[in-house]
Chain A
């Protein structure tokens, strides 16, 4: 079955620090990969996505590259801000068929201090 493993949190950084949140996956076929973000008290928002190998998703200064050879989709940001404090979820979705469910990692809590 499909699974997503992401680094355990919490992660605490100072403003302007570099961020990496590791994510690896196991899937049959060729999944699409996603990062979702959940700000305190809110629902999940799609942060970025990639649909095939070597695709780079990017949004709001965050980036992640779909690495098929290492089955990874690590999230990076060069300079974090206090407003980036949230829970980040890596997820995958299989292509095709009628089963569109997302498989999520366990989430990584990021706290950015001023």
Chain B
């Protein structure tokens, strides 16, 4: 059984389009995250939700809007895509609130290519 799943795995689209990436976890975790990995493999957090509430927003352009319909899902919607948005986006989840050591479980990633 896949613990953290993302769809789609690959996404190729043109500048100016709007697209969404979906993430689901079946681990019973309370907290979910979106990370962006650039072409140099550098990983940076974008957002975090705890029990459907936004708790981290790391200076991401407001073209990016996360949505958490329930604590098992965290979707990422991107408006007006730009070339610089091309990257691999990873979803992750972590153990229930307050439980160390806060390790995170990652999805397989979505490779977004904007042309």
Contact = CB atoms under 8 A, between A and B. Distances in A.
Interface string B29-57: 00101000000111111001010000110
Interface string A66-94: 00000000000000000000010100011
A101 interface: yes
B contact patch SS: strand
Nearest to A95: B100
A51 interface: yes
B33 A101 contact: yes
Contacts of A106: 40-42
A43 to B, nearest CB: 4
Contact of A107 (B43, B45, B101, B106): B43
B107 interface: yes
A100 B106 contact: no
Contact of A104 (B43, B94, B109): B43
A102 B45 CA distance: 8
B101 A45 contact: no
Contacts of B31: 100
Interface in B61-115: 90, 92, 94, 97-98, 100-109
Nearest to B31: A100
B101 A49 contact: yes
26 contacts: A34-B103, A42-B108, A42-B109, A43-B4, A43-B106, A43-B109, A44-B90, A45-B106, A46-B103, A46-B105, A49-B101, A87-B41, A94-B102, A98-B97, A100-B48, A100-B50, A100-B102, A101-B33, A101-B45, A101-B48, A101-B56, A101-B58, A102-B104, A106-B40, A106-B41, A107-B41
Given A43-B108, A100-B94, 13 more contacts: A43-B90, A43-B106, A44-B43, A46-B103, A93-B101, A98-B55, A99-B48, A100-B50, A101-B58, A102-B102, A104-B42, A104-B44, A106-B41
Interface of A: 32, 34, 36, 38, 42-46, 49, 51, 87, 89, 93-96, 98-102, 104, 106-107, 109
